[in-house]
Amino acid sequence: MKYKLFGRTGLRVAQIALGTANFGTGWGHGADARESEAIFSAYADAGGNFIDTADVYQFGQSEEFLGNFLQGRREDFVLATKYTNGATPNANRLVTGNSRKAMVASVEASLKRLKTDRIDIYWVHHPDNVTPSEEIIRGFDDLARAGKILYAGLSNFPAWRLARAATLAELRGTVPIAAVQFEHSLVRREAEADLFPASSGLELGVVTWSPLGGGMLTGKYRHGQTGRAEALRGKVFQAENSPQRSATLDTVISIAKELGVSPDQVAIAWAGSHGAVPMIGPRSLSQLTSNLGALEVHLTPEMLERLDAVSRLDPATPAERAAVPWSDGKTQSGVVA
């Protein structure tokens, strides 16, 4: 595992982050405690040090599992969690959303489940379209001054709100917005139009989720498997529902055969070529082992061009007109041994 500087922070994080939405069975699917610990330990043994969770994941079980796994080795990891949705089904309206009240209640509950005295990166999980940016950054600053969080981040926010919040924090001298998280894969490239350029201009650390398109880019759903196609009512699954997506998957599989690797490794390697930290979310140890194989995959410029060309957004859309070539190798700086 190699490490990279994370935005303007002094953090040196692993080039692949471990997402733990599958740690637990509170949603009716996922990994039990034993399998989750095996995944966690194998990731750590491979040199991984960047763990991402959320209070809502498996209705709190993910954080509870991690709290146990981290005992005696807390300082070996950058620990990130999120708030917005609450940790229970049908959570009270006062502990959901982006308000300062919800933020304070959520961070206190997360700290207890995680068995730690502070959270390294605290994310707003997604905008509630009600709470103003001023309230969010003030809440972050209060938590940072109290020593309960070290860095603040925004997840799934549009670029204009990201830029506004980061600018407000800078002008007011509060804890800065240090990180951003959003979906990005060969079948979801819209972020290249605005979120990647905004993040680069603001010098933010970038984490991208679902580099496998919810599993579609593994090719397994062509063989009758279900997995995320059914879990969470398919919310995070990108279906093979267009000629372009089929051609993209065909290209991923073709390059995987040329390299003698698996399709998931090609897709993750491509996501990692954009200067971000791709986040994997395995449900089993075998999935983790396969995903981490992406660390050894070298995509040639010709392969990157093939992948970029087949998955390119429709040139008639504003997103494509604004997009920049994020796979040119110039965005991969900051990686250190």
Distance CA 165, CA 87 (A): 25
Nearest of 183, 185, 181 to residue 206 by alpha carbon: 181
How many CB atoms within 10 Å of residue 73? 9
Nearest of 287, 291, 273 to residue 186 by alpha carbon: 273
Distance CA 50, CA 80 (A): 8
Distance CA 158, CA 137 (A): 16
Residues 6+ apart with CB under 8 A from 250: none
Q: Which of 57, 122, 151, 221 is catalytic?
A: 57
**CA 323 to centroid of chain Cα atoms:** 21
Quickly tell me which residue has 């991923």 as its tokens.
252
Question: Is 57 in the active site?
Answer: yes
How many CB atoms within 10 Å of residue 172? 11
The torsion defined by the Cα of 189, 190, 196 and 197, in degrees rounded to 10, comes to 130
The residues that are catalytic are: 57
